[in-house]
A and B are shown apart, each in its own frame.
Chain A
Amino acid sequence: MIRFEDVSKRYPGGHEALQHLSIDVERGEMVFVTGHSGAGKSTLLKLIALIERPTSGQVIVDGRNTRKVSRRKIPAYRREIGMVFQDHRLLHDRPVFDNVALPLIIAGVGPREAGRRVRAALDQVGLLTKEKQRPATLSTGEQQRVGIARAIVTRPKLLIADEPTGNLDPDLSFEVMRIFRRFNEVGVTVLIASHDVALIDRMGCRRIALEKGHLQAEREDTAVDDYFAELEATGEEPESWL
């Protein structure tokens, strides 16, 4: 679903956010991108969303080379991807319903069909009763769920999230992650950038660990277990990689 081929990104000013990065995310996978702030997590997502363009290398999303998506085609390209942000990015001058309906209005879906889909999306994040409220009257966790409803209301095949639990306490974070998991279970490819190691461990998904723009390690939970088993067998001290 997502393939990075030797991707580098240098920002104006010389900061090297990503260097020769190659990754692969299969269709229907749920993957975490981890690393300290500044490791290149956000840049990786921005390259997928075409908020930024790579300095070199290829980014292929759903079989499409993003280099070939022209400026004018970016809106249509973005409509295929669900995006969730750390600070929700909701519009505070209109109720929850209108916020979630926005991607459908942009896509030109009629009001009747839109209403049906918005309610379905709100139902999936458990906020059906709050459609008339303004985002500001909701709790942070609820606001983030509105953000997720907005991202999935167009039924995208790919969902990307940048630190979606950044402002939430552990219980709310886990709840949000379970929502992502449910979408993943019905076939949506999910890519989440997060530095919440404890939570990621609890989810047990593959992770792409970045450090200073490089790939650090790609391991699944079983790989971690194997690693510790190996340490135990050889008697070595575990290297610090968190």
Chain B
Amino acid sequence: MRRPTETMTPLKKSGPLTNWILRHASTALGSLGRLVRQPFASLMTLLVIAVTLALPASLHLVIKNAEAISGSWENALDFSIYLKMDTSLQQAEKIAALIEQRADVLSVAVVSADDALRDFKRESGFGDALDHLATNPLPHALTVRPSPANTASAMQTLQEELANLAETDLVQVDTEWVQRFHAFLEIAERAGLMAAVLLGMAIIVIIGNTIRLDIQNRREEIEVTKLIGASNSFIRRPFLYSGLWYGLGGGLMALALVSYGLHLIAAPVSRLAGLYGNSFALLALEPTESLVVLGVGVFLGLTGSWTAATRHMRRIEPR
């Protein structure tokens, strides 16, 4: 086997691209090393960034879960039509068939007076007392599920027309509070977005300030490197990598905080869902959403460090 030696084979010169990658890798590692060598200060900065990123991320989760819950309340949109007492079951079924043909109605179910009484006995706890009733005091009723495509005004029209039927005694709608809830979620989503923008600006300021201090501490080094011919981009590079590490580290810690928070409230939430006879499970951040958190962290880190480095570096000129 031939063993290559430097005398036998000419020195392999690494290409410009390899050099470029090596240079960036060593700068990136150097910046990381600097952060690691001051663990307490770095951790404090990272924690501030993490909390600031975790706030909008968890707000987003709250809204997302609330939307998921309200989505499972579709039946709350049903109309209950209580028919007049003198309406027979056959008549009720005929009306139900008529209503079901409407385009703005998905389905209609007939709840006979006997069924209603039986359910009432079971659920109210007055079972024995009700047995003494000579006649059933309850009317026949229809449960109308509107088409999900209905607009708010279409719902209004449907409700009025159902109320105007000759056999209708009372139409009961539960839609209003659901609509209010959706409007509220929309406001919360807007407010959350605005808060996220403000908090993002705070992160830029935090990282910028950290980098500014770093630049002041390394003033001597910057002066010397400028004297021996370093360009501004060469001097800026390690600070940009510091900003990148802050953003990435802060993003990772934010994800950890959010998932720990989810873990803490998962048990009470499933107990609450159990009380409502519901098997609702909390939604966590999806992989793409986690990537967004990290990406935003990195972007803010780079923006903050770029601004600070460019601003403060220019003032340091060798004398």
**Is A200 positioned at the interface, with any CB of B under 8 Å from its CB?**
no
Q: What's the nearest-Cβ distance from chain B to residue A88, in Å?
A: 10
**Is B19 positioned at the interface, with any CB of A under 8 Å from its CB?**
yes
Contacts of B231 in A (CB 8 A): 75-76, 106
User: With A51-B319, A89-B224 given, is the CB distance from A110 to B19 under 8 Å?
Assistant: yes
**Is A79 positioned at the interface, with any CB of B under 8 Å from its CB?**
yes
* Choice from A106, A109, A112 contacting B11 with Cβ under 8 Å: A112
**Is B74 positioned at the interface, with any CB of A under 8 Å from its CB?**
no
**B229 near A79: Cβ-Cβ < 8 Å:** yes
Contacts of B20 in A (CB 8 A): 108
**How many interface contacts (CB-CB < 8 Å) are there between A and B?**
62
User: With A91-B224, A111-B22, A113-B13 given, is the CB distance from A106 to B230 under 8 Å?
Assistant: yes
User: With A91-B221, A106-B234, A112-B14 given, is the CB distance from A150 to B228 under 8 Å?
Assistant: yes
Contact bitstring B198-229, A, C-beta under 8 A = 1, else 0: 00000000000000000000001101111111
**Is A103 positioned at the interface, with any CB of B under 8 Å from its CB?**
yes
Contacts of A106 in B (CB 8 A): 225, 228-231, 234
Contacts of B232 in A (CB 8 A): 75
Assembly CA distance A83 to B318 (angstroms): 13
Assembly CA distance A49 to B224 (angstroms): 13
Which residues B90-126 have CB closer than 8 A to chain A? Answer: none
* Choice from A51, A77, A107 contacting B318 with Cβ under 8 Å: A51
* Choice from B11, B13, B228 contacting A102 with Cβ under 8 Å: B228
Assembly CA distance A78 to B318 (angstroms): 12
Assembly CA distance A113 to B231 (angstroms): 21
Which residues A27-76 have CB closer than 8 A to chain B? Answer: 49, 51, 75-76
Which residues A207-227 have CB closer than 8 A to chain B? Answer: none
**B318 near A110: Cβ-Cβ < 8 Å:** no
Which residues A84-111 have CB closer than 8 A to chain B? Answer: 85, 89-91, 93, 102-103, 105-111
Assembly CA distance A83 to B19 (angstroms): 26
**B22 near A89: Cβ-Cβ < 8 Å:** no
**A76 near B229: Cβ-Cβ < 8 Å:** yes
**Is B23 positioned at the interface, with any CB of A under 8 Å from its CB?**
yes
Contacts of A49 in B (CB 8 A): 227
Which residues B273-319 have CB closer than 8 A to chain A? Answer: 317-319
Assembly CA distance A91 to B224 (angstroms): 8
**B225 near A102: Cβ-Cβ < 8 Å:** yes
What residue in chain B is nearest A85 (Cβ atoms)?
A: B227
* Choice from B11, B229, B319 contacting A78 with Cβ under 8 Å: B229
Name the residue in B16, B19, B23, B229 with the highest tally of chain A Cβ atoms < 10 Å from its Cβ. B229
Assembly CA distance A150 to B226 (angstroms): 14
Q: What's the nearest-Cβ distance from chain A to residue B19, in Å?
A: 5
**B19 near A78: Cβ-Cβ < 8 Å:** no
**Is B9 positioned at the interface, with any CB of A under 8 Å from its CB?**
no
Assembly CA distance A151 to B229 (angstroms): 11
Contacts of A103 in B (CB 8 A): 228-229
Contact bitstring B218-251, A, C-beta under 8 A = 1, else 0: 0011011111111110100000000000000000
**B234 near A83: Cβ-Cβ < 8 Å:** no
**A108 near B229: Cβ-Cβ < 8 Å:** no
Contacts of B229 in A (CB 8 A): 75-79, 103, 106-107
What residue in chain B is nearest A73 (Cβ atoms)?
A: B231
Assembly CA distance A90 to B228 (angstroms): 11
Q: What's the nearest-Cβ distance from chain B to residue A73, in Å?
A: 10
**B230 near A110: Cβ-Cβ < 8 Å:** no
Name the residue in B220, B223, B231, B317 with the highest tally of chain A Cβ atoms < 10 Å from its Cβ. B231
Assembly CA distance A75 to B236 (angstroms): 14
Q: What's the nearest-Cβ distance from chain B to residue A78, in Å?
A: 4
**Is B153 positioned at the interface, with any CB of A under 8 Å from its CB?**
no
Name the residue in B13, B228, B230 with the highest tally of chain A Cβ atoms < 10 Å from its Cβ. B228
Q: What's the nearest-Cβ distance from chain B to residue A187, in Å?
A: 21
What residue in chain A is nearest B223 (Cβ atoms)?
A: A89
Assembly CA distance A106 to B317 (angstroms): 17
What residue in chain B is nearest A80 (Cβ atoms)?
A: B229
Contacts of A102 in B (CB 8 A): 225, 228
* Choice from A75, A83, A150 contacting B230 with Cβ under 8 Å: A75
List 24 A–B pairs whose Cβ atoms lie within 8 Å, in order of A's numbering: A51-B227, A51-B318, A51-B319, A75-B230, A75-B231, A78-B228, A78-B229, A79-B228, A83-B227, A85-B227, A89-B224, A91-B220, A102-B225, A102-B228, A103-B228, A105-B23, A106-B229, A108-B23, A109-B19, A110-B13, A110-B14, A110-B18, A110-B22, A113-B13
Further 7 A-B residue pairs, CB within 8 A, beyond A91-B221, A110-B22, A112-B11: A75-B229, A75-B231, A79-B228, A89-B227, A103-B229, A106-B234, A110-B18
Q: Which A residues lie at the B interface, using CB under 8 A?
A: 49, 51, 75-79, 83, 85, 89-91, 93, 102-103, 105-113, 150-151
